[in-house]
Structure 1
Amino acid sequence: MNTMTSASNSDAPIKVLVADDEHLVRSGLQVLLEIEDDITVVGEAATGAEAVEQARALRPDVVLMDIRMPKMDGIQATRQIATTNGLQQVRILILTTYDTDAYVFEGLQAGASGFLLKDAGPAELLHGIRVVAAGESLLAPRITRRLIAQFTAQQTANKAAEHRLAVLTDREREVLTLVGQGMSNDEIGAELFLSPATARTHVSHAMVKLGARDRAQLVVIAYRTGLVSP
């Protein structure tokens, strides 16, 4: 997977907000993350409402967002953060368990940049934070594509979807299809005989035209409009 340049100062540590209703989980994550030279925990939240409040106050680069929290769940909190003016650069990485996978697709629609299972190892978590902070989406694991396929299986392309894609050029539509299949910029370039930089440009143009927050939302659009079949 390619890693795009972060909008923040590359020399500054990645600022992380940890949102989870379990104190032990928050403490454990903080200990793990603070060991890293390029990551710092700037705050904690025990509820979705606190996560939104802390995101507004602290402007973190990444929010580690649990789904099941009191007062406001992680999906609602993600949606509020993603639609708040001034928080466009805040990336949300959802942490979930197998029994909450049904919420992942909804989380991506709400504006999350990806997700990790809570049983992921420390190295996978750290990698995920760095990938998301760099502007990419955590879509590499096959389980992500299976989940998206599962929860869009009943949603077929229609006239409204076709109208939405009408703003794209033929090349951008091809690129969107490959993004929906989980390909990186390098893989898209190889498939379409383009340089990775040109592939990245087409991806960026598609994001702007479709109003997508990031690649995760492009994947959702690709499935919902029928460009990619489950």
Structure 2
Amino acid sequence: MEYLVQSDRVREALEEVKGLLVGKTSMACMGDMLTLAAFSHAVPINHSLLGAYTTEREALTACQDRQPDLLYITEQLEQGYGINLALKVKNISPVTRVLLFLHRESQDVVREAIEANVDGIIFVHSIGQSADGDFLKSIRAIANGSSYYPKEVRTMAGYVKSIELAGLSDRESEVLEALCQGMSNKEMAEVLFVSPETIKSHVSTVIGKLGVKDRTQAVISAIRAGM
């Protein structure tokens, strides 16, 4: 598969990512030094990056000290394990939102990542599929306070559909599905043809009915219920 790095659409996407990250700080932790170096030098990422690491211990210490807005990780690290890092970071730096790039596409690994309450999961193979693919969509979602669990990831998780979400109305279920796709309130309002204020009310109701504290936990509840 060719990645058309010089295409106008790719350049537009990179500029959009750069704009989304203005005013935010980030860190990266990836086990492969080539991948880490290439990622860290990417123009949309570099200007917000506080540090880049290959081990769980280094990244955890840095997150505790500097409390970045975003942390990009892979599950494979030089030392340690990325999903363990994500779980620990949530405890010592609650402001940090975590985006996980998964190399291993198995049910066990996906479920383990979901249980770590990461804010977004994308499979590495999906990154270059299109300029408007999972990477850009995940950055849009996480930078705007939403979560990103694409259908491919939810399917791989393989949870059996349950009646856990039966208390939601049809419209609330639509809102929850949109949350799983990483949509902002504005995007949901445009898709569902209602006002952003109505969407905000629906999101609050969904969070309340599911008994969770935020949008990410609402998405995770939906995935566990087989949505």
Give me the whole-angstrom Cα distance separating, in 1, the residues matched to 2:24 and 2:136: 11
Give me the whole-angstrom Cα distance separating, in 2, the residues matched to 1:214 and 1:26: 29
Deviation at 1:14, TM superposition (A): 2.7
C-alpha spacing 1:11/1:145, structure 2 compared with 1 (3 Å): closer
- Pair 1:147 & 2:156 matched: yes
Q: Alignment partner for residue 48 of structure 1, among 45, 48, 56? A: 56
TM-score (norm 2): 0.70
C-alpha RMSD of matched pairs (Å)? 3.5
Could you say what secondary structure the match of 2:44 adopts?
A: coil
Deviation at 1:136, TM superposition (A): 1.4
Could you say what secondary structure the match of 2:146 adopts?
A: coil
- On the 8 A contact 1:43/1:58 being kept in 2, the answer is no
C-alpha spacing 1:58/1:156, structure 2 compared with 1 (3 Å): same
Deviation at 1:112, TM superposition (A): 0.8
Deviates more, 1:123-132 or 1:87-96: 123-132
RCO higher in structure (CA 8 A, sep ≥6):
1
1:61 aligned residue:
69
Query: What amino acid maps onto 1:142 in structure 2?
Result: K
Structure 1: 5+ residue runs without aligned partners? 1-9
Structure 2: 5+ residue runs without aligned partners? 1-19
Q: Alignment partner for residue 83 of structure 2, among 60, 71, 75? A: 75
- Pair 1:103 & 2:104 matched: no
Deviation at 1:222, TM superposition (A): 2.2
- On the 8 A contact 1:13/1:38 being kept in 2, the answer is no
Give me the whole-angstrom Cα distance separating, in 2, the residues matched to 1:105 and 1:180: 18
Work out the number of aligned pairs and report it: 200
Deviation at 1:142, TM superposition (A): 2.6
Deviation at 1:205, TM superposition (A): 4.7
Q: Which structure 2 residues correspond to residues 114-153 of structure 1 after superposition, within 5 A?
A: 114-119=120-125, 120-121=127-128, 123=131, 124=133, 125-139=135-149, 141-148=150-157, 150=158, 152-153=159-160
Deviation at 1:37, TM superposition (A): 8.2
Report percent identity of matched pairs. 20
Could you say what secondary structure the match of 1:42 adopts?
A: strand
Give me the whole-angstrom Cα distance separating, in 2, the residues matched to 1:38 and 1:27: 10
Give me the whole-angstrom Cα distance separating, in 2, the residues matched to 1:79 and 1:127: 23
Could you say what secondary structure the match of 2:200 adopts?
A: helix
C-alpha spacing 1:79/1:207, structure 2 compared with 1 (3 Å): farther
C-alpha spacing 1:219/1:203, structure 2 compared with 1 (3 Å): same
- On the 8 A contact 1:180/1:223 being kept in 2, the answer is no
Could you say what secondary structure the match of 1:43 adopts?
A: strand
Could you say what secondary structure the match of 1:199 adopts?
A: helix
1:21 aligned residue:
31
